[in-house]
Amino acid sequence: MLLTSKSMFVSVALALLVLSAGAKADTAVSVQIAGVSNDGGKLHVSVFDSKKGWLKKPVMQEAVAADGDSATLELQLPPGDYAFHAFHDVDDNGKMKTNFIGIPKEPTAVSNDAKGKFGPPKFKDAIVSIGDEPVTVVLNLVNID
């Protein structure tokens, strides 16, 4: 049986409709950065989706000017488990300053206020589960050094 171009078009259109119905839409994620100690520089937020890439290979990065004692970024993420990291780039050089052993010298924050013991916080302690409903993630900046 040969398909006419019209029936082939209808078949392809129906297949695309079925496939798109199963796709999940991204979720609104409001990232609030609190504890900004001074104006100037930028607030950088990185989003991670795996232990392997934690603090090394973000799936998303955004920055906003530090103006006031807090800031909010609006992101869109597919449902899943994520960990968030932020830092206040006070000198606006695009990277986080650290001391000679890697301890941050600029204010930093991790989701769930996860703390590290003899190193950075663990990915599993910073995970925030994103579902279909909008989510707010609060990152509280602290000075470690």
Tell me, what's the pLDDT at 145?
Answer: 72
Name the β-bridge partners of 139.
33
Chain centroid offset of residue 26 CA: 13
Domain that holds residue 57: 24-140
Q: What is the CATH number of the domain that holds 71?
A: 2.60.40.10
The whole-angstrom separation of Cα 95 and Cα 87 is 9
pLDDT value of residue 1: 46
Q: Domain for residue 118, yes or no?
A: yes
Residue 18 placed within a domain: no
Domain count, the chain: 1
Residue 13 lies in a domain: no
Supply the DSSP symbol for 50.
-
**Does 35 map to a domain?**
yes
State residue 39's pLDDT score. 78
Give the whole-angstrom CA distance, residue 3 versus residue 11: 10
Residue 94, in any domain of the structure = yes
Q: What's the confidence (pLDDT) of residue 5?
A: 56
Could you read off the pLDDT tens digit of each residue along the chain, which spans 145 residues? 454 555 555 455 545 554 444 556 899 999 999 999 887 899 999 999 999 999 999 999 999 999 889 999 999 999 999 999 999 999 999 999 999 998 999 999 999 999 998 889 999 999 999 999 999 999 999 998 7
Residue 12 lies in a domain: no
Give a yes or no: residue 3 inside a domain: no
| Token couple for 15 | 């297949």
In a domain, 2, yes or no: no
